[in-house]
Structure 1
């Protein structure tokens, strides 16, 4: 409990916002033959997220409910300590916690930058948790069963892990290399879908 209370608002907010903006993704206009399949717009995920930066690290439990263009994400520590709520719909995203108060923005990326100073392609996450690339420019590596096991998109290397013969990943590891030779790392473990 004391350990969770030491997590910085920046760290927790970063992890939360990596989950939030997914429904806000606007697909780039591509020729019809290059269009990517749509990721499902209704799902529910529960699990644990960990964030590690060169300065600090921490983890929390999450529940993410996606209903078409609206989402609701709750993040909490052990026994519900440090609860943070993120909600959104097109044009309006908000984060509310005891540590930060209410922060609002038009997009998840804008909210992430306001709350943490980070810039990340968080709108891609809805595709990544569904084992799909978010853009046609993604570099993809597949496993022996034909499932995506590695994606490289917009400066992030995403590793996907699966339980046995499942088609959707139960673990994602996102890494962003920094100029200092260090990295930002986000680990997302999906326990329930």
Structure 2
């Protein structure tokens, strides 16, 4: 499950960055990652946007996960710029017309190789489930006791929900940078 989260985030970020160019290198601190016992099989569809001080990009995504194996397809507006990311333990492959094929052992390695950027990609599977990824996370809850904000590993994640839904339909991930700037990732989940 952890591997799938890593690959998903790496794929989205890599595809977005492949469409927009190289990004700033930011090292993420290492912490103990919690284990997710549920939701090892799922699918998500939606849109993701990445904004940094130098670049902006977005893509539509479809993410199919079956335990530790996954398939992610990213496309730009009108289906242009299709990127396919496939993963299984020990091998992650990204293939697009712009970058060609990039293969790595881990999603973090794939993201760094493709973009030079390091991000908490191991955390995304937890965050889409409205859960903290580490034992050191700071969690602020809303009136319904759902996570409203999670702060961990240098990132702040804000959650939005449809009415009384238990799982978020929108996540905004923010990483503060020098001089008041930030990296921002907006993930909209249209279908689960």
TM-score (norm 2): 0.83
- Larger mean CA deviation between 172-181 and 96-105 belongs to 172-181
Equivalent-residue separation in structure 2 for 1:85 and 1:12 (angstroms): 18
Paired residue total: 170
Shift of the 128–77 alpha-carbon distance from structure 1 to 2, 3 Å rule, reads same
Moved over 6 A (4+): none
Equivalent-residue separation in structure 2 for 1:181 and 1:36 (angstroms): 34
CA contact (8 A) 1:49 1:186 kept: yes
Does 1:9 pair with 2:9? no
Give the structure 1 partner of residue 105 of structure 2: 106
Equivalent-residue separation in structure 1 for 2:85 and 2:21 (angstroms): 11
Give the structure 1 partner of residue 133 of structure 2: 134
The 5-angstrom pairing of residues 161-180 of structure 1 reads 161-180=160-179
Please, which runs of 5 or more residues in structure 1 have no aligned partner?
1-6, 15-26, 30-34
Equivalent-residue separation in structure 1 for 2:68 and 2:175 (angstroms): 27
Give the structure 2 partner of residue 68 of structure 1: 67
Counterpart secondary structure, 2:53: coil
The 5-angstrom pairing of residues 27-176 of structure 1 reads 28=32, 37-176=36-175
CA contact (8 A) 1:47 1:190 kept: yes
Deviation at 1:38, TM superposition (A): 2.5
Deviation at 1:39, TM superposition (A): 4.4
Counterpart secondary structure, 1:126: helix
Equivalent-residue separation in structure 1 for 2:175 and 2:75 (angstroms): 24
> For 1:11-69, what per-residue CA distance to the aligned partner results, in whole angstroms no more than 9, with x for missing partners?
4898xxxxxxxxxxxx948xxxxx65534111100000011010011211000111100
Equivalent-residue separation in structure 2 for 1:55 and 1:173 (angstroms): 18
CA contact (8 A) 1:127 1:134 kept: yes
Equivalent-residue separation in structure 2 for 1:37 and 1:91 (angstroms): 19
Please, which runs of 5 or more residues in structure 2 have no aligned partner?
1-15, 24-30
